[in-house]
Structure 1
Amino acid sequence: MPSNIIGTEGITRDARSRYRQRAEGGAHGAFEAETKRAGATPRAEVEVLRSAAPADVAAVLGNEAEGAVVIRQRRMYNGDRLVQLADTYIPASVAEAAPAVAQIDTGEGGIISRMADAGLAQTEVVEDVMQAPATAEQAAALGVAEGELLLTILHIGRTESGRVVEVTRHVLGRGWTLRYGVPLD
């Protein structure tokens, strides 16, 4: 079943295919591909900076978190409606090997494709989905009450050797459906 927009408020994020189809139709990442496939209009505002990773992300990155990491802060829209805040943390050594990940426009397929081009293909993705209270900044951006529980996804991308090359925290506004599939052997 394809991912799609449900009505005007909801978005389905389909983990079964989103990373394999991230460059579909020339898209610059999974969100853009999914949103376009559903007939909607994706847009993202991107800021790239270098800074220390927050403690929880640094714990996942381990030694890769020493010093500044590349942080891609994105505000993701469905048309004119802000639907997601996504902050991606990339180790400096990964950004050196795949310098396009530190650019505003990372090209077709987004950062996952740029990492693969540099020999750092992600072969495993783990996503922890949880509810977290909206901070004042998140609440103001997403139009919810401060403290309202929002779905948050902590995405961790690893190479075949187990190296963590990306940690992304997705904070979703109202109206999302998360779809996962589990193969049964």
Structure 2
Amino acid sequence: MIKLSYREIAAILRQEIMDGLYPHGSLLPPEPVLAERFGTARSAINNTFRVLRGEGLISTQQGRGTYVTAMTSPIVRNASLRYQAHAREQGHGAFDYEVRQLGMTPKSDLTISRVLPPEQVAEILGVSPGGEVLARSRQMYADNVPVQIATSYIPLDIAADTVLEEAEQGAGGMVSRMADLGFQQTRMTERITVRPPSEAEAEFLSMSSEQRVYVIHHVGWTSSNRPVEVCVHVMPTHYWQLDYSWEVDPTSS
């Protein structure tokens, strides 16, 4: 019998997960059982699990074993589509629309407060040192699976004592309500970085140290070129697919 490498074992288990032999949410056999199956040492299976955890296919819970992750398909975040009115207003904002496209049920736990913004956010919004902003912080789920942490920061001269300080935003979500208040966003910019999750993020998102998160700094701008919202999205890379598209100027050389 040819001894398989841990990467080859990972490829076999990956395919078995994709084929449904190990359904999403199910418990994988323990390391000793898999080591016997593949005729290898437990250390090789440990390395196999490390690879599959890094891909987001499995999650190891201390004292309980290793499970196939609950998500069956990545959530598609289409940056061009998600802020179009017809998409947002089918539900309560862009996230609601994205999750429902998979036939899943979105849910968010929302905290609204006036806070001192992170330094980078304050700089973008032009908030003076010590100045507060409105923060709408959401812990977000798809079918009870935690999939994102997102915090929107809005200047108080826009948000104070308005509907933006209320939990329910109605059809179209916060972007539509800002437009109702006279601060329609006509341009948006995003910067994406990838890093390990913080301890708090890993705990909420059920992530391991091998996994990574996208961090998207999203800025909404008005036609007068004023930044009126900064949203910081923290998203497990294995749960999300980021799609972007843009027009090409045919006259450019």
Tell me by how many angstroms 1:78 deviates.
Answer: 0.6
Work out whether 1:23 is the aligned partner of 2:86: no
Q: Of the candidates 60, 63, 69, which is equivalent to residue 127 of structure 2?
A: 63
Match of 1:3 in 2: none
State the one-letter code of the partner of 1:152.
Answer: V
Would you say 1:76 and 2:174 are equivalent positions?
no
1:40-73 superposed Cα distances (whole Å, 9 cap, x missing partner): 1111111101111011111111137762111011
Normalized per residue, the structure richer in strand is 1
The sequence identity of aligned pairs, in percent, is: 36
CA contact (8 A) 1:91 1:165 kept: yes
Q: Which runs of 4+ in 1 moved over 2 A?
A: 63-66, 145-149
The separation in 2 between residues aligned to 1:105 and 1:122, in whole angstroms, is 20
TM-score (norm 1): 0.89
- Count of residues in correspondence between the two structures: 176
8 Å CA contact 1:64, 1:91 repeated in 2: no
* 2:96 equivalent in structure 1: 32
Instruction: Map Cα deviations across residues 121-162 of structure 1 (whole Å, 9 max, x no partner).
Output: 000010111112211100111111258431111000010001
Cα 1:64/1:160, change in 2 over 3 Å: farther
CA distance in 2, matches of 1:179, 1:103: 31
Matches of 2:89 and 2:124 in 1, distance apart? Answer: 27
Q: CA RMSD in A?
A: 1.7
Query: Given that residues 136 and 152 in structure 2 are in contact (C-alpha distance below 8 angstroms), is that contact kept between their aligned partners in structure 1?
Result: yes
Match of residue 123 from structure 1: 186
1:166 aligns to 2:229 (yes or no): yes
Q: Which has the larger radius of gyration?
A: 2
Q: Distance in 1 between matches of 2:141 and 2:211?
A: 20
- Cα 1:9/1:142, change in 2 over 3 Å: farther
1:105 Cα deviation after fit: 1.1
Higher relative contact order (CA 8 A, sep 6+): 1
Structure 1, unaligned runs of 5 or more: 1-6
TM-score of the superposed pair, with normalisation by structure 2: 0.66
